[in-house]
C-alpha cells in the first residue's frame, strides 16, 4: 500500500556535478595530454559518449541496453498494403495503354516477405496465402466456382464425334384460339358427350315402355 511505502531517496549530487567540474582529476589531465578536450568523445574516432556517467530514471521493464524501436515491426502490414495498392495501380492505371508483362505479373506475397527487411511471415504462411502460383482450376475450387463448359466447345466436340443433339420431343401445341374460345370449345364437346351417353342409357327403356 502507499502508506507503507518509503519516501523516494535522492542522492546529494545526482548529476555528479562535483566530479565533472573538477578539472584537477588525474584521468582528465592524462587525456588532455593525448589530445582530448571537453566536448569530444572517447575512442580513436571520438565516437564515445561526450557526457559523463549520470543517474537516469528507468520507468520501463526492458532489459539494460534495449532499444525501444518498433517502427519496422508495427508498420510492416502497412508496407504490404501500400505494395498491394501500387500493384493495383500499375495493373489498372489511368492510362489505357496495354500493360506490359511486368504489370500483368501477379503480386507474390512470398517474394515480398523474402525481400522485406524484417521477416514478418513464416514460409508456410506465405505459401498458403500466396495465390499467384495457383492455377485457374485451383482458384475455382478455393472460391467455390463451378467450371462451366462453353456451348461452342460442346457443339464442336459433338460434331467431331459425329453425334448430333437429340431433337426436342416435348408435346407442345401452338393454337391461335383465345382462352375464352378454348374453354367454350371444350365445354361444347363435354355437353355433346353427355347427351350421347344419356341417349344410349335411356334408349332400351323407351322401347320397352312402348311395347307395353
User: Per-residue pLDDT tens for 94-153?
Assistant: 544 454 554 445 556 556 666 665 555 555 666 666 666 677 777 777 666 666 655 555
**Pick the residue with more confidence: 84 or 125?**
84
Over residues 193-208, the mean pLDDT reads: 69
Which residues have C-beta within 8 Å of that of residue 129, sequence separation ≥ 6?
A: 109
Q: Is the pLDDT of residue 154 over 60?
A: no
pTM over 0.75: no
Over residues 191-198, the mean pLDDT reads: 86
pLDDT score, position 199: 75
pLDDT tens figures, 26-56: 988 998 898 888 888 888 888 888 888 777 7
Between CA 72 and CA 75 the distance in angstroms is 6
Amino acid at each position: 500500500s502507499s502508506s507503507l511505502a518509503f519516501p523516494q531517496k535522492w542522492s546529494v549530487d545526482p548529476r555528479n556535478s562535483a566530479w565533472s567540474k573538477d578539472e584537477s582529476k588525474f584521468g582528465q589531465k592524462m587525456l588532455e595530454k593525448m589530445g582530448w578536450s571537453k566536448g569530444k568523445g572517447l575512442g580513436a574516432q571520438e565516437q564515445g559518449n561526450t557526457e559523463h556517467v549520470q543517474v537516469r530514471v528507468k520507468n520501463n521493464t526492458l532489459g539494460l541496453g534495449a532499444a525501444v524501436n518498433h517502427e519496422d515491426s508495427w508498420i510492416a502490414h502497412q508496407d504490404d498494403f501500400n505494395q498491394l495498392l501500387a500493384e493495383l495501380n500499375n495493373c489498372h492505371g489511368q492510362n489505357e495503354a496495354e500493360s506490359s508483362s511486368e504489370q500483368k505479373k501477379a503480386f507474390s506475397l512470398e517474394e515480398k516477405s523474402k525481400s522485406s527487411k524484417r521477416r514478418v511471415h513464416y514460409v508456410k504462411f506465405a505459401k498458403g496465402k500466396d495465390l499467384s502460383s495457383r492455377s485457374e482450376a485451383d482458384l475455382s475450387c478455393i472460391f467455390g466456382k463451378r467450371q462451366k463448359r462453353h456451348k461452342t466447345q460442346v457443339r464442336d466436340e459433338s460434331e467431331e464425334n459425329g453425334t448430333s443433339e437429340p431433337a426436342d420431343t416435348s408435346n407442345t401445341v401452338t393454337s391461335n384460339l383465345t382462352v375464352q374460345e378454348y374453354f367454350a370449345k371444350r365445354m361444347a364437346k363435354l355437353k355433346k358427350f353427355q347427351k350421347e351417353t344419356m341417349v344410349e342409357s335411356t334408349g332400351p327403356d323407351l322401347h320397352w315402355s312402348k311395347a307395353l
